[in-house]
Amino acid sequence: MNWRWADEGVKGYIDESYLQKELGTKENTQIEMVQMLCFESMNLGIMKSEQKPYEVVKEFTKNNPELVKKIAQEHPEFFVDGSIVEECIKAMPEDATFAKYLLNHVKYMGMEARQQRGI
């Protein structure tokens, strides 16, 4: 596998043409699953980091809104944490439907306390 992190970060790994070449397939479901797993891995990395670079997930969401919406529907567990959910919502402020869906369907620790505080 050709490592692309240094130049492009996650963006290099979710590029469709790159994935087609590396996976040896043009099958969209396989490519999309790899893209979704990159999202989850990125979020796990953010949560393990002391610095919590949430801007990474925010930028990912801005650049891939349809993929993030699909992840919310098919794999809400990939959001990992409430802070990730909040950053995704901030990344698409014009999409109230997406925000409502995330808040109603993605379960995370501390969610009840945040809802009580109106967050």
Is residue 114 within 8 A of residue 108, CB to CB? The reply is no
- 2-38: pLDDT as tens digits: 444 445 667 778 889 999 999 999 999 999 999 999 9
- Which domain does 76 fall in, by range? 7-116
**φ, ψ dihedrals at 31, nearest 5°:** -65, -45
d(CA 17, CA 31): 9
User: Is residue 2 situated within a structural domain?
Assistant: no
Mean pLDDT for 37-58 is 94
User: Is residue 1 situated within a structural domain?
Assistant: no
